[in-house]
């Protein structure tokens, strides 16, 4: 297994897992309430087990039946097309021969029913206007018109089926519209999270040769303007502080939404205002029938190397995966107001703000801004005012709500809620209990959903109404998903024995590749355990078959539910002239799950002082985005290495977590005393 090793205690939440058995007696299971079960789609464990068994035994039959619920332009020939190479499911294709369109399934098909007049998106802006917080509602019919017009705008700007379009925006309806417009004409989108820096934009745009970028003049966040257009300009610029850089040669046009209206530079011939282009666009743009395996999008995510990888999802399998999981795991109904608080810049927003709920014809709430702005009760206020019934958020958000105090949710009427969800990292039982009691008032099932950018859709999660929950466990696999916990040598672990989480059968929404890098795709996911998918997560399975995710076992750190590659942050650091070498590790953090600690050696002549420390933190924020800003930088005169020259990360992790070699912030850490440990690690 190369360098991967199971973290003994990878994060505060993982350590909380250890104590959970003792905290909660065996009988502290949270059985679904009769009230919920009686009207849930899957209302009992027996029903879940029956369907699950059927999905594993004959996936072709199972998924063929489910796929009939989507609207097809042409039926498929074969549900599962195994790869030519025997003994591996890498390269499996789904619904081969079929023609389908994701935008059509998310919008047009609802226009034939009463859903035409129902709200597809209820959007709330961060700032308040004269009449309270800004709000806009788009019915399915209105969404159809906007998406069709936008698709025509994209075409008029030269975008054809197959061309890549980058989208770098804040959370406004135009972001959703742009995504669905790309899907409509089969132009794979690559959404770049609005918190990323211009360098991060450039890397992503150049990796996929996007021809057009959709952006906004700015975005609202915590009362401030995020300079989205300026960042795009910088990414496209051929100069960076006087040094010529490559810019983004593939980009021909930039489509700019006016959101903050604070004045930005428009480059003639390249930049086009959204509102100007939309004013002239026709609203007639039939969805293009696309092959099932036509790429729907590329989404960049951090991996174990310095460069983020472009995860490729295709149309039919992904759509089916997000549709089915939304239908069953969120048990979604026409009358629900469903709110997922993620950003569309991450996979959670792709699958569970857009493709999943809209293909189900749901009403989706979308919020633009920061969770605690202008006051710590903003989320609870939104839930009360919009009567949100399903709420999906991240453990890190829950932990900051816990810290902010109970008085904030307590002053709001949260009685509309009927189901709660979490995603992104292991949830510690304390946060789970708080969510259950304070927010769900003890009556809402909690779905703790484990999945990844690569899996496209939720893989392990309770089905509310059927599966009793346990705080801290994602419980059982979804239909068609075959996870196992294995040892280094590939043998199955015993109950409760920690091991590596793998998936042993193909599933419809699985990633189809890393953009332009089949080798890395193979190496990353299908080579640790030949032929089956390696998740990069550690887990254990208890004697009831429940999965307990323990966190990453590779060089990826989960900071506030966001994946960051240690190498990515390290290469940003060594990009600074002061830095000779850097090693980045995670340390448990009460709110973020993990915090970033960088051990840095400086080049001759640079003073290891507070000013430089701050400069380096800023440098990383500029290179990647503020989510990657190290929480702590420790200067050292050398990094502890094995004799073969490998940085001893485990040792650094321990130091970062326990603070064993802390010392004065301005003194250098001295690793010479660690010779003994070095030898121990090498052995």
Q: Tell me which residues touch ligand WTA (CB under 6 A).
A: 301, 346-348, 423-426, 448-453, 474, 535-537, 549, 551-552, 558, 563
Work out how close the CB of 13 gets to ligand WTA at its nearest, in angstroms, rounded to a whole number: 8
420 contacts 444 by C-beta, under 8 angstroms: yes
Nearest Cα to 433, choosing from 424, 423, 420?
A: 420
Q: Is 479 or 533 the residue whose CB approaches ligand WTA more closely?
A: 533
Q: Is 139 helix (H, G, I), strand (E, B) or coil?
A: strand
Work out how close the CB of 112 gets to ligand WTA at its nearest, in angstroms, rounded to a whole number: 32
Q: Is 40 or 474 the residue whose CB approaches ligand WTA more closely?
A: 474
Work out how close the CB of 537 gets to ligand WTA at its nearest, in angstroms, rounded to a whole number: 5
Nearest Cα to 632, choosing from 606, 656, 666?
A: 656
Q: Is 359 or 452 the residue whose CB approaches ligand WTA more closely?
A: 452
Residue whose CB is nearest to ligand WTA in the complex, by number:
453
For residues 446 and 470, give the distance between their C-alpha atoms in angstroms, rounded to a whole number: 9
Q: Is 483 helix (H, G, I), strand (E, B) or coil?
A: strand
Report the 10 Å Cβ neighbour count for 355: 31
Q: Is 401 or 671 the residue whose CB approaches ligand WTA more closely?
A: 401
Work out how close the CB of 590 gets to ligand WTA at its nearest, in angstroms, rounded to a whole number: 17
For residues 72 and 76, give the distance between their C-alpha atoms in angstroms, rounded to a whole number: 9
Q: Is 249 or 545 the residue whose CB approaches ligand WTA more closely?
A: 545
Work out how close the CB of 228 gets to ligand WTA at its nearest, in angstroms, rounded to a whole number: 22
**Residue owning tokens 């590790």:** 585
316 contacts 94 by C-beta, under 8 angstroms: yes
Q: Is 14 or 154 the residue whose CB approaches ligand WTA more closely?
A: 14
For residues 282 and 147, give the distance between their C-alpha atoms in angstroms, rounded to a whole number: 11
Tokens describing residue 609: 């002082």
Three-state secondary structure readout of 374-411 = CCCCHHHHHHHHHCCCEEEECHHHHHHHHHHCCHHHHC
User: Could you give the C-alpha distances from 39 to 33, 331, 332, 427, in angstroms and in order?
Assistant: 11, 9, 11, 27
Pairing label, strands 483-486, 499-503: antiparallel
213 contacts 232 by C-beta, under 8 angstroms: yes
Work out how close the CB of 395 gets to ligand WTA at its nearest, in angstroms, rounded to a whole number: 8
Q: Is 360 or 474 the residue whose CB approaches ligand WTA more closely?
A: 474
588 contacts 594 by C-beta, under 8 angstroms: yes
Work out how close the CB of 156 gets to ligand WTA at its nearest, in angstroms, rounded to a whole number: 34
Pairing label, strands 224-226, 363-367: unpaired
Work out how close the CB of 226 gets to ligand WTA at its nearest, in angstroms, rounded to a whole number: 21
Q: Is 35 or 496 the residue whose CB approaches ligand WTA more closely?
A: 496
Q: Give me the DSSP letters along 111-159.
A: GGSGGGGSEEEEEEEEEEETTEEEEEEEEHHHHHHHHHHHHHHHHHTT-
468 contacts 544 by C-beta, under 8 angstroms: no
Residues written for the chain: 683
Q: CA torsion 188→194→198→201, rounded to 10°?
A: -20
Q: Is 376 or 538 the residue whose CB approaches ligand WTA more closely?
A: 538
Pairing label, strands 78-81, 295-301: unpaired
Q: Is 11 or 359 the residue whose CB approaches ligand WTA more closely?
A: 11
Work out how close the CB of 394 gets to ligand WTA at its nearest, in angstroms, rounded to a whole number: 9
Work out how close the CB of 97 gets to ligand WTA at its nearest, in angstroms, rounded to a whole number: 30
Work out how close the CB of 561 gets to ligand WTA at its nearest, in angstroms, rounded to a whole number: 7
Q: Is 159 or 423 the residue whose CB approaches ligand WTA more closely?
A: 423
For residues 190 and 168, give the distance between their C-alpha atoms in angstroms, rounded to a whole number: 9
């Amino acid at each position: 297994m190369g360098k991967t090793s199971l973290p003994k205690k990878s994060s505060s939440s993982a350590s909380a897992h250890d104590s959970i058995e003792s905290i909660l007696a065996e009988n502290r299971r949270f059985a679904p309430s009769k009230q919920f079960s009686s009207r849930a789609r899957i209302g009992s464990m027996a029903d879940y087990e029956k369907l699950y068994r059927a999905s594993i035994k004959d996936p072709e039959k199972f998924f063929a039946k489910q796929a009939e619920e989507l609207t097809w332009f042409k039926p498929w020939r074969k549900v599962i097309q195994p790869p030519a190479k025997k003994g591996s499911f890498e390269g499996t294709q789904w619904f081969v021969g079929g023609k389908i369109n994701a935008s059509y399934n998310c919008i047009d098909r609802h226009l034939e029913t009463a859903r035409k007049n129902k709200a597809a998106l209820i959007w709330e802006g961060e700032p308040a206007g004269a009449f309270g917080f800004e709000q806009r509602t788009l019915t399915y019919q209105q969404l159809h018109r906007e998406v069709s017009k936008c698709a025509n705008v994209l075409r008029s700007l030269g975008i054809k089926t197959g061309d890549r379009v980058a989208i770098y925006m804040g959370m406004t309806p135009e972001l959703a519209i742009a995504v669905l417009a790309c899907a409509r004409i089969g132009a794979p989108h690559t959404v770049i999270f609005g918190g990323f820096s211009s360098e991060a934009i450039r890397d992503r745009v150049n990796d996929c040769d996007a021809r057009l970028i959709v952006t906004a003049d700015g975005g609202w966040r915590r009362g401030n303007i995020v300079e989205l257009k300026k960042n795009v300009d910088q990414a496209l610029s051929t100069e960076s502080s006087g040094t010529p850089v490559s810019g983004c040669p593939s980009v021909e046009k930039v489509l700019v939404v006016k959101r903050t209206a604070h004045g930005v530079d428009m480059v003639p011939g390249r930049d086009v205002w959204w509102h100007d282009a939309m004013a002239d666009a026709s609203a007639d743009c039939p969805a293009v029938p696309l092959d099932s395996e036509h790429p729907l999008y590329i989404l960049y995510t951090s991996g174990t190397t310095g460069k983020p990888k472009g995860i490729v999802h295709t149309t039919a399998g992904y759509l089916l995966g997000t549709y089915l999981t939304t239908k069953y795991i969120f048990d979604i109904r026409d009358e629900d107001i469903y709110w997922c608080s993620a950003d569309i810049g991450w996979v959670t927003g792709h699958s569970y703000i857009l493709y999943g709920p809209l293909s189900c014809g749901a009403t989706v709430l979308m919020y633009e801004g920061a969770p605690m702005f202008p006051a710590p009760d903003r989320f609870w206020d939104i839930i009360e005012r919009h009567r949100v019934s399903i709420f999906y958020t991240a453990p890190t958000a829950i932990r900051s709500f816990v810290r902010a105090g109970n008085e904030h949710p307590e002053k709001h009427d949260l009685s509309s809620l009927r189901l709660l969800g979490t995603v992104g990292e292991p949830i510690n039982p304390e946060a789970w209990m708080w969510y259950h009691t304070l927010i769900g008032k003890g009556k809402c099932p909690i779905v703790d959903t484990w999945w990844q950018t690569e899996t496209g859709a939720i893989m392990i999660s309770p089905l509310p109404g059927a599966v009793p929950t346990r705080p801290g466990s994602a419980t059982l696999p979804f239909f068609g998903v075959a996870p196992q916990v294995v040892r280094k040598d590939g043998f199955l672990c015993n109950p409760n024995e920690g091991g590596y989480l793998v998936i042993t059968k193909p599933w419809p929404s699985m990633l189809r590749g890393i953009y332009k890098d089949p080798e890395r795709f193979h190496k990353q996911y299908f080579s640790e355990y030949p032929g089956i998918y390696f998740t990069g997560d550690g887990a254990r399975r208890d004697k009831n078959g429940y999965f307990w995710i323990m966190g990453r076992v590779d060089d990826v750190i989960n900071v506030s539910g966001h994946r960051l590659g240690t190498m990515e942050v390290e290469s940003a650091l060594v990009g600074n002239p002061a830095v000779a070498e850097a090693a980045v590790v995670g340390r448990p953090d009460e709110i973020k799950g993990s915090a970033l600690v960088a051990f840095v050696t400086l080049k001759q002549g640079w003073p290891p002082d507070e000013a430089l420390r701050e400069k380096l933190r800023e440098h990383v924020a500029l290179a990647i985005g503020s989510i990657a800003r190290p929480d702590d930088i420790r200067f050292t005169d050398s990094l502890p290495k094995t004799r073969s020259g490998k940085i001893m990360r485990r040792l650094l992790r321990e130091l970062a977590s326990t603070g064993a070699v802390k010392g004065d912030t301005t003194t250098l850490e001295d690793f010479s005393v660690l010779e003994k440990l070095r030898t121990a690690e090498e052995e």
